[in-house]
Structure 1
Amino acid sequence: MSFTYQRLNKDDVALLMVDHQAGLLSLVRDSNPDEFKNNVLALADIARFFDIPTILTTSFEDGPNGPLVPELKEAFPDAPYIARPGQINAWDNQDFVDAVKATGKKQLLVAGVVTEVCVSFPVLSALEEGYEVFVVTDASGTFNLTTRDAAWNRMSQAGAQLMTWFAVGGELHRDWRNDIEGFGGLLAGHLPAYSNLMQSYAQQTAS
């Protein structure tokens, strides 16, 4: 069976941040809360570093789901912000779909809360529309490992690629020579272990 490696293309990808809301974040139990928030903000930093068009959306934020976490609003002050009045599947909201189409990108990075609903539903809808979809697994969260794994299986069987924020960054960057200090500094800001590497590198290059 032949295989085609479909890589992320920084010039043809958009990021969809779906329902990272204060109330919903309290439901995330499949990862450590501090690590999860770090992963979400790392993905945001990657999108800004590579100038990836980003769309923010919330669901019923006047209800128990709560508002979008403020760090994402601050990170993307000019991004389309779609406050869905009630649609559970973001793809059922025409303003959201129009914003996605307006990017002109064929690839979509998707992350959100909770994984089996807020992420899975628009991912499946986008796949049906012909997009290449990449799910950022560690910037998405849900109740437990059982629901997470069921969602991952459903999306991957439909054709979505499952990735982590670190893999997203590496695949977009492609070559260390593009900007080792900039990209390495981004990684160091979210991974303490990588900070050690960058400190060692700085000492070596200074001598």
Structure 2
Amino acid sequence: MSATYKRLDKDDAVLLMVDHQSGLISLVQDFSPDEFRNNVLALADIGVFFELPTILTTSFDAGPNGPIVPEMLDRFPDAPFIRRPGQINAWDNEDFVKAIKATGRKQLIIAGVVTDVCVSFPALSAIEDGYDVFVVTDASGTFNKTVQQAAWQRMSSAGVQLMNWFSVACELHRDWRNDMEGLGALLSNHLPNYRNLMTSYTKLQEAKKE
């Protein structure tokens, strides 16, 4: 039996940035530090570009997990920020779930640290509660590739859709004619090779005007 294609809808999606904290990020070994930072900020910029309701959360940030990375607060100064006092699974925090329900949306885009715990646990809980869940694999990190693959398999088996930040952007956008320059600029900021495409495109547009 073939599965139904549930595509992301910018009018029904919520972005959940889970435990991108200074201490926890030091545990990420399945991506290089620069690569991971770029991926996380790319996803955050997607949230801003598409004006997605965004919810930030941290776990025990007064302890070794550390504070949320400042870039999250810079990009989402008005977003609900749920500082969990101890719950490992964000779904166990009543304020976090209330913030999600308050949006009235049913598609959850989740990224966080670490993949096998801070991402997997709320993703699986949300699936159980009837949400459509999309985990952004390259904006989530963990100890090593073995742990990464096991976490991905566990979530995928439960019905979570696994995506990367680039595919999230494209599926939300749907049609280049919506705003080619806007999305192109976002992609160029996070994909150096894409900047070459945009440079070529800009030159062609300028030539047409001459």
Do they fold alike, i.e. is TM over 0.5? yes
Cα distance in 1 for partners of 2:8, 2:206 equals 34
Task: Give 3-state SS (helix, strand or coil) of 2:153's partner.
Answer: helix
Q: Kindly provide the amino acid, as one letter, of the partner of residue 154 in structure 2.
A: R
1:175 aligns with 2:175: yes
What residue number does 1:32 align with? Answer: 32
Cα distance in 1 for partners of 2:9, 2:42 equals 18
1:164 aligns with 2:164: yes
What residue number does 2:83 align with? Answer: 83
Cα distance in 2 for partners of 1:190, 1:109 equals 19
Cα distance in 2 for partners of 1:182, 1:17 equals 23
Task: Give 3-state SS (helix, strand or coil) of 1:109's partner.
Answer: strand
Q: In the TM superposition, what is the alpha-carbon distance from 1:54 to its structure 2 partner? A: 0.3
1:198 aligns with 2:198: yes
Task: Give 3-state SS (helix, strand or coil) of 1:77's partner.
Answer: coil
Q: Which runs of at least 4 in structure 1 moved beyond 6 Å after TM superposition?
A: none
Q: In the TM superposition, what is the alpha-carbon distance from 1:2 to its structure 2 partner? A: 3.0
Q: How does 1:17-28 map to 2 (within 5 A)?
A: 17-28=17-28
Cα distance in 1 for partners of 2:70, 2:35 equals 17
1:4 aligns with 2:1: no
Task: Give 3-state SS (helix, strand or coil) of 1:100's partner.
Answer: helix
* TM-superposition CA deviations, 1:155-183 (whole Å, max 9, x none): 00000000000000000000000010001
Q: How does 1:34-113 map to 2 (within 5 A)?
A: 34-113=34-113
Q: In the TM superposition, what is the alpha-carbon distance from 1:4 to its structure 2 partner? A: 1.4
Q: Kindly provide the amino acid, as one letter, of the partner of residue 15 in structure 1.
A: L
Q: Kindly provide the amino acid, as one letter, of the partner of residue 136 in structure 1.
A: V
Q: Kindly provide the amino acid, as one letter, of the partner of residue 4 in structure 1.
A: T
Cα distance in 1 for partners of 2:96, 2:62 equals 18
Q: Kindly provide the amino acid, as one letter, of the partner of residue 143 in structure 1.
A: F
1:151 aligns with 2:142: no
Cα distance in 1 for partners of 2:196, 2:17 equals 30
Q: Kindly provide the amino acid, as one letter, of the partner of residue 141 in structure 2.
A: G
Q: How many residues align?
A: 207
What residue number does 1:189 align with? Answer: 189
Q: In the TM superposition, what is the alpha-carbon distance from 1:3 to its structure 2 partner? A: 3.0
Structure 1 gaps, min length 5: none
Q: In the TM superposition, what is the alpha-carbon distance from 1:75 to its structure 2 partner? A: 0.3
Structure 2 gaps, min length 5: none
* TM-superposition CA deviations, 1:140-159 (whole Å, max 9, x none): 00000011001000000000
Cα distance in 1 for partners of 2:171, 2:199 equals 23
Task: Give 3-state SS (helix, strand or coil) of 2:2's partner.
Answer: coil
Percent identical residues: 71
